[in-house]
Amino acid sequence: MTSPIRQEKQAKPDQLSDWHAPTISYEQLKPKTQSPAPNSYLIDVREPEEVAQGIIPSAVNLPLSTIGSAFSLKSEEFQKQYGFPKPKHSDELTFYCRSGKRSSSASDVAARNGYTNVLNYKGSWLDWTAQEVGSVPQQ
């Protein structure tokens, strides 16, 4: 298994206009869902109505619509509002959505908020479902 390329240096906000988070594949993500590391978060940025249709095992939900304000919350407030501990800036954050567009935006927001170990599951929910059950859900 190949390891995803990681951004070693924290990007400065003014340097992020052409920055894109490294991507992770289904093959790289699958083992992480089976044995999640304590300093690693798989974050579904879809809205709660979408998450109700299914979620990748071990994922937590942090909707893209709230992510900017969420990262500015104090740890206690974050935990109370979202039901999981606020990630540390050095934790691994892997974002996904339905098709990879919103997760790319979430990755950018995380980097702008000082998170340095950010990954984007580019295939997102559609790829996960296709890999797991062999068919893409109809919308």
DSSP code of 137? P
Which residue in the list 97, 106, 110, 111 is annotated as catalytic? 97
Query: Torsions phi, psi of 102, nearest 5?
Result: -65, -35
Q: What whole-number distance in Å separates Cα of residue 15 and Cα of residue 73?
A: 24
**80 CB contacts (<8 Å, ≥6 apart)?**
none
**7 CB contacts (<8 Å, ≥6 apart)?**
21, 22, 111, 116, 117, 118
Active site residue 97: yes
Q: What whole-number distance in Å separates Cα of residue 137 and Cα of residue 139?
A: 6
Positions annotated as catalytic residues are: 97
